[in-house]
Each structure stands twice: as structure tokens, then as C-alpha cells.
Structure 1
Amino acid sequence: MALSPNAASTLSRVGVYGVTVATDLDLIPSLPPRSDTPDLHVVAASEPIEFADQDLFYSSPTRDPDSVPAIRLYRVEDRFVARFVDAATFSIGSERIEYLLHDDTYAYALELWLLGTVLAFWLEWRGVPALHASAVALGDGAVGFLASKQGGKTTLAMSLLQQGHPLLTDDLLPLGVEGDAIRGQPGYPQMRMWPAHVRHFVDNSDSLRRAHPYTDKRRVPIGTDGLGTFCDDVRPLQALYLPERTDKTSIQIQPVAPTEALKAALRHSFLPRLVEAASWQARRLNVLSQLVEQIPVWQLTYPEGIEHLPRVADAILDAEA
């Protein structure tokens, strides 16, 4: 199981995505401990989570083999209910999320749903949109790599980790607005990588566990008992990069015009369909417009092949110096 209720039913206080969470779950990533007042409780539901079909406002086009939607979202009074296939249900409130597992064969997926869709949706509800990006702390700020699956964002972040720069987040980058500043909120100290990439960066790659039973991706711990270091602080974003691999040997870093940068940010934003269904896209657009007006966005073109990554990392560091 990737995630299970804490046997003692005690609540651990941990940090993730820039908030303090009190939870009864044992997560595989070792989340940083917290002692401050929780922003959110994540606990097992003590009774069935009720919802009505007429409250349905989103149904995923992705279906399981039995044609059940991968996710359905309902509005129920002052909260939302997310139903993942017919395996688990999350009741999402402003200060409390309750989960209920219906099918034990999906226990491994609870963690993936919570740290992905559920918390991203909760953050968006609070006005904190997220990008599909990895980010690394540089000095007092951070740079992000904005890409879809297999776009190179994780390996680029790892190449900077190898040079001593802490990981801020992998895959999901929440954007906190503080006055006129856009800040990247930290994720958790773990990366997920394909075996060929893991073998390049990790000596004991065969000992790493799978991200879940149905993928070859591996969990790479960051920090204590893992690779590099993790940055658990909110950091102002100083640049975003749009990576593109080519068959050329040269590395190019070129500015992206604000209009094109905004299109890219929208294209690589997290949960775009869910945000549209919830009618939050205008708020997201405002934050992303502010982002590309304040922060340089660069097109990063670099050669295909993991052996070129140290040189790419050097080029990024030179650009940010």
C-alpha cells in the first residue's frame, strides 16, 4: 500500500505545497514536520460521504475499462466531493478533507490522488493556481521548468540538484501571490523518474520502489537518505523555462514574448478542465498574466541525450548569474 491510515489514529503535522496539514495518513514521501496551527486536516471519513447525482458538475472523459469516469466532481453545500472511479471518494472542505477508500486494490492510488488532483484543486479553490512544472531554488529565488509529461522538467531539475541547488518541487508548482510578487510554494522531497534516468543519477537505482504498481517510474527521495537537498521555503520565482529537446548540439536560451508566455503557462497549468468546470478560469488567468508580466520566460533548446545535461545546467546557471 502506498498510503494507509495511521494505526494509532494520531495526526501528524506536515508541510506540503506551502501549507501545514494535520493528517492520519502515513505517506511514502517523508514530508517536513510542522508545529504551527494546521491550515488543513486530511482524515479518514467516519461515515459514508454523501452526494447527489444532480450536483455533478464535472465528469472526466477518461474512463476505466468498465467505462466509469476517472473522476467525477460534485458540489455539495459548502464543499466539493471528488469520486475517483468507484474506488475512493474525497470530501473537500475549506479546512478539512475526508477520504474514504471503497476498493482496497486502489489503496496505492490514494496518495497519488491526494498529492495530485485533490490538493491541487483545494489550492485552486483558495486562489493558488498550480503549474505543471518542476522548480529548483537558486540563491534567494527559484527557477521553474514548465512542461508536460516527458517534457524534460524533472531531469533538468535533477541536473541542477547535482550541482548543489535544492529541489523546490517536482511536477506541481503552486503559485502564491503576495502583493506584487509571485512565489513558488514547495512541494515534497521526492521525484519520480523513469529507470533509464534513475540509473544515470542514482547508484542504487534497483532498490528504489515504483511510483505505483503499474508504472516503471521510480520514487527518488530527496534530502535525508536521498539525493541532494530539499527547499522547504516559499521562494520568489525569478524565471520560467520552456524546455525543448532537439537533435542539435547547441544550447539556446531565448526570451519568450509575454503573449506567447501566457499561452504556454495556460497550456501547462494544472487541472485546466476542472478549473474551467468550476468557473475559476478568470481568476487563474489574472494570476498567470501577472506572472508573465513580472517574471522572464525563456525558451530553452538543448540537445537530446542525458549526457548533455551538465552542460545544460551550466548554461542555465550562467543565464541566472
Structure 2
Amino acid sequence: MKSYKAYNLCIASELQLPELIESEGAPDAIVRFGKVDNATAMQHDSGQNFVGEIPEVGEFFIHDGREILMNPLPGVNEALLRTVLLGPILCVLLRQRGLLVLHASCIDMNNKGVAFMGGSGWGKSTLATAFHNHGYNVLTDDVLPIQIKTGQPVVFPSYPQFKLWPEAATSLGQDTKSLLPVSQNSFKVAYKLSRGFQQTPLPLHHIYVLDKGSEHKITKIKPQEAFVELVRHTRAISSMTEQEFIADHLHLCSELIKNVSFCRFTRKPSLEDLPTLLKLIEDDLAQVSQKNEVHYTLL
């Protein structure tokens, strides 16, 4: 069993996870193989259990944000098993640990987290990778875990790998022939970062909600609209149906809106316009920074 670092956790796993950074220390969570059945869940009945089956992959039991038990189907592709574990399964575990987990990617801009939130295929990974190529460090791809306590929400980094569509990888200067598929039958390729991965948590300051349109523009959105988008793009929300989890989730969304700036980022679907999109975001954040400086001066 090896230990790895991801999502601000030390994860000890019987399944090797080459996507993650190896680590040492007492494990915060353990991943192991074993039989999953109702009897297993009953033995750990504490209101913090999830038992589920993912078609063509296997059965999973997630207990109290500390343990994942996997029972994969015979002959299942190991890369596919890792993809499921590092995605939807760990999302449930992170939610059990009290984090708000969004469908978003996040970069480091001046020691502040800037996230791009949206559904699959909306360009989250492409934008984050483009910023990485532009010299910015990145924190997460596709899974954005946020700790919301008192004060500023904090983003926990994931692991140094992005999942890209081949055409996006090519437009970003990558040789797709040297990149392996994320898993068997996957259309996306795995791009492992050799540099520029932000390994320590950062405060989250901005969330851009991605949208498609006929022009590039950034518009401020109202709290009610931001709330709808947060609920729409929360990971693991359909798996955690107990009333206490739903109530806590709505509370976390409300708290995030109080402390983070939300904008809608509408773009024309064109990979050739990536430099323009990066400049648009940089200029938008620079304007926000200037307004804040003026505000502090007046105070």
C-alpha cells in the first residue's frame, strides 16, 4: 500500500495511483479492495455511508470520509478504475468531509484561486491549461474542493494531470502522439504537468461560470443566479441525498456567494481565440484589483 497526496489529504491506497504525488505520513483516507454488500454498510452505519455501483467498473463503499472499499468487475481496465476513483468516488469522500465540491478547474493568479466552472466539454480544462502554458500555476482540473469555514474560502489542490480533448491539446502545442488516453475507450488524453502545479491550498477569490455565445464577454451575475449555477455544477450532489447533507450543501453555497466574486464568461467556441480569452480574464481581474485599491484608499 502506497501513500499519496491529493486534495490536501494523505491517501493510502492498495491501487497504485501514478497520477498522484507520492507522500508519507499518517493516512487521512484509505483505499482498499474488498467485497461490497449491504452487510458491509450496516457494519459501519453512522449516517456517513455511501454504497453504489458504477456500470462496467464495479461496486464502491465510501465510509465517513475516511475509507473507500472497491470491488471492481473482473478484467476492468485499471486506468478506468483510477479515473472513477479519482473523480466521482473521491468527490463523495470529500463531500463527506464537509467540503463543497464543484465541477470546475482552478488556477493561481497572484496567490489567489481563480476558477472556471461548467459542465463537461465547456472548456474548463482547456482554459486552465492555456493559463498554465502562459506561466500560471494550476491547482485543480475538473474537481474543485473548497473548504468553507469562517472568512475566505480555501481551494485544495488536486493532482498534476489534466484531461484534454485531442484537438485542444494540439492547439495548446502538445504532441498528442505522446499523450495516452485517460482510460480505455476514452476520447480525452492525459496531460501530466512537469512544472507549475500549486501544491498548497489557496484562498478562492473568483469563479467564472462558463457559457457559449456569439461573442466574448464577461458579465457580473447576481447572487440568486450564482446560487443556481453552484447547485447545478456541484459534484456528488445526486449521491448525497440525506436531508442533513442537502441542508449543509445549500448553506455552503450561500456562504461561498458571500465571499467570492461570480461572473459569467461567455465565449465563442473557437480554440484559435484562446489568447484573446486569456487577455480578457487578465484585464477583468486587473480592473477588479484596481477598484479594490481605490476602495481601500478611500477608506
TM over 0.5, shorter chain: yes
**Which residue of 1 is the match for residue 258 of structure 2?**
293
Structure number with the higher helix fraction is 2
194-203 or 290-299, larger mean C-alpha shift: 194-203
Q: Cα distance 1:276–1:93, how it changes in 2: closer, same or farther (>3 A)?
A: closer
Matches within 5 A, 1:204-215: 204-215=175-186
**Residue-by-residue CA offset, 1:153-211 (whole Å, 9 max, x unaligned):** 11111121111111110111011124222111111111111111111123321121111
Counterparts of 2:134 and 2:110, CA distance in 1: 13
Alpha-carbon contact 1:101-1:107 (below 8 Å) kept:
no
Cα distance in 1 for residues equivalent to 2:267 and 2:118: 14
1:51 aligned residue (38, 44, 67): 38
Q: CA deviation at 1:12?
A: 1.9
Which residue is equivalent to 1:19?
9
Within 5 Å, give how 1:81-96 maps onto structure 2: 81-85=51-55, 87-94=57-64, 95-96=66-67
Q: Which residue of 1 aligns with 2:291?
A: none
Measure, in 1, the Cα distance between the counterparts of 2:167 and 2:56: 34
Q: Residue 21 of structure 2: SS of its match in structure 1?
A: coil
Look up the equivalent residue of 1:144 and give its one-letter code. A
How far apart are residue 87 of structure 1 and its match?
Answer: 4.3
- Contact 1:240/1:295, CA 8 A, preserved across alignment: yes
CA distance in 2, matches of 1:36, 1:319: 41
Q: Does 1:171 align with 2:134?
A: no
Summarize the Cα distance change of 1:32–1:285 in structure 2 as closer, same or farther, 3 Å threshold. same
Any residues of structure 2 matched to 1:149-168 within 5 Å, and which? 149-168=120-139
Change (3 A) 1:110 1:277: farther
Answering whether residue 153 of structure 2 is matched by residue 182 of structure 1, we say yes
Q: Given the superposition, is the C-alpha separation of residues 32 and 108 from structure 1 closer, same or farther in structure 2, using an over 3 Å criterion?
A: closer
Residue 261 of structure 1 pairs with residue 226 of structure 2: yes
Shift of 1:232: 1.2
**Structure-to-structure mapping, 1:185-200, within 5 angstroms:** 185-200=156-171
Corresponding residue for residue 35 of structure 1:
24
SS at match of 1:317: helix
- 1:214 maps to amino acid: N
Partner Cα distance (1:108, 1:51) in 2: 27
Q: Residue 207 of structure 2 aligns with which residue?
A: 240
Contact 2:100 2:148 in 1 (8 A): no
Task: Classify 1:287/1:269 alpha carbon distance in 2 versus 1 (closer, same or farther; 3 Å).
Answer: same
CA distance in 2, matches of 1:213, 1:50: 27
Query: Does the 8 A contact of 1:166 with 1:230 survive in 2?
Result: yes
The one-character-per-residue Cα deviations of 1:273-318 (angstroms, maximum 9, x if unpaired) are 1123575111011111111111110111233311111111112112
Q: How many angstroms apart in 2 are the aligned matches of 1:203 and 1:149? A: 21
For residue 58 of structure 2, what is the amino acid of its counterpart? A
State the SS of the aligned residue for 2:276. helix
| Structure 1: 5+ residue stretches without partners | 1-10, 56-73
The residue number in structure 1 matching 2:297 is none
- Contact residue 208 and residue 264 of structure 2 kept, 8 A: yes
C-alpha distance in 2 between matches for 1:40 and 1:204: 36
CA distance in 1, matches of 2:214, 2:56: 44
- In structure 2, list runs of 5 or more residues that go unmatched: 287-299
Contact 1:51 1:76 in 2 (8 A): no
Measure, in 2, the Cα distance between the counterparts of 1:318 and 1:156. 15
- Quote the Cα distance in structure 2 between the aligned partners of 1:75 and 1:247: 55
Q: Deviations over 1:210-244 (max 9, x none)?
A: 1122122111111x2xxx51111111101000122
C-alpha contact (below 8 Å) 2:56/2:76 kept by paired residues:
no
